[in-house]
């Protein structure tokens, strides 16, 4: 079993819809939680970073962490065609091991 | 700043050939790493370095060598390429292993 499980998608939504992305994990040592965005044929870029349970907002993006359920989510409000990308969850353990989910490909239709 | 740069962008090799994937960063980052990305597998760590002269193995190190003679450069060597090494390779860097990593644009490698 992988330490980080991520719904592979793909996900296709109309412009303006809310996009919901999820990851679950099994390693209780994960302390820091990240979401990366990867455009086609590009490297991943950090989108959001959090270390505590609860919600963190940044513009149209909200990252949610539930450590008790070992579950993290990313919500994209008012989605735009420019949000079309692959979204990777990543988790850093307290011994600095970084583990990635497989990624979810999102397409926002104009 | 150029950030993290990788060369080449794309390479085709025959089984048994060797090559070096280049990675450089101009952000004075101590921590550098190499990942491979395969469909459905996410990013998997190959090798990493916490500073010049110090390297260590990641999750999937077999078939790859690294060295770190300078802070800026962290080349990845394939000693004898195999079709299983067909993948997209990303180099990343950060101030430390606890900090956010910045990724390069990737090298697409096809081994025939």
Answer whether A10 touches B (CB < 8 Å).
Answer: no
Answer whether B3 touches A (CB < 8 Å).
Answer: no
Chain B residue numbers touching A25 (CB-CB < 8 A): none
The shortest C-alpha distance from A81 to chain B (Å) reads 22
pLDDT of residue B32: 97
Q: Would you call A81 helix, strand, or coil by DSSP?
A: helix
Name which of B66, B43, B40, B44 is nearest B55 in CA terms: B66
Is residue B97 very low, low, confident or very high in pLDDT (cuts 50, 70, 90)? Answer: confident
Round to whole Å and give the CA distance between B34 and B74: 9
pLDDT of residue B58: 94
Round to whole Å and give the CA distance between B14 and B57: 25
Round to whole Å and give the CA distance between A51 and A40: 28
Q: How confident is the model over A92-104, as a mean pLDDT?
A: 90
Task: Indicate the average pLDDT of chain B.
Answer: 95
Least CB-CB distance to A43: which of B44, B45, B106? B106
Is residue B35 very low, low, confident or very high in pLDDT (cuts 50, 70, 90)? Answer: very high
DSSP-derived pairing of the beta strands B87-94 and A61-66: unpaired
| DSSP label of B73 | B
Least CB-CB distance to A8: which of B40, B101, B103? B40
Answer whether B2 touches A (CB < 8 Å).
Answer: no
């Amino acid at each position: 079993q992988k330490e980080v499980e991520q719904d592979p998608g793909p996900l296709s939504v109309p412009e303006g819809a809310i996009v919901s992305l999820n990851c679950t994990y099994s390693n209780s040592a994960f302390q820091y939680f990240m979401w990366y965005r990867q455009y086609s044929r590009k490297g991943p870029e950090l989108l959001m970073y959090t270390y505590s349970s609860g919600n963190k907002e940044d513009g149209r993006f909200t990252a949610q962490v539930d450590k008790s359920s070992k579950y993290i989510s990313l919500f994209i409000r008012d989605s735009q065609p420019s949000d079309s990308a692959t979204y990777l969850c990543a988790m850093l353990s307290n011994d600095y091991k970084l583990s990635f989910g497989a990624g979810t490909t999102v397409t926002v239709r104009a | 700043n150029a950030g993290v740069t990788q060369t080449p962008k794309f390479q085709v090799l025959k089984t048994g050939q060797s090559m070096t994937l280049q990675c450089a960063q101009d952000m004075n980052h101590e921590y550098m790493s190499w990942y491979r990305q395969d469909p459905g597998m996410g990013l998997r760590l190959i090798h990493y370095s916490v500073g010049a002269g110090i390297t260590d193995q990641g999750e999937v190190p077999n078939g790859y060598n690294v060295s770190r003679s300078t802070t800026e450069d962290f080349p990845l060597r394939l000693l004898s390429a195999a079709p299983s090494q067909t993948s997209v390779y990303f180099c990343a860097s950060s101030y430390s292993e606890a900090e956010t990593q910045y990724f390069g644009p990737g090298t697409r490698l096809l081994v025939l």
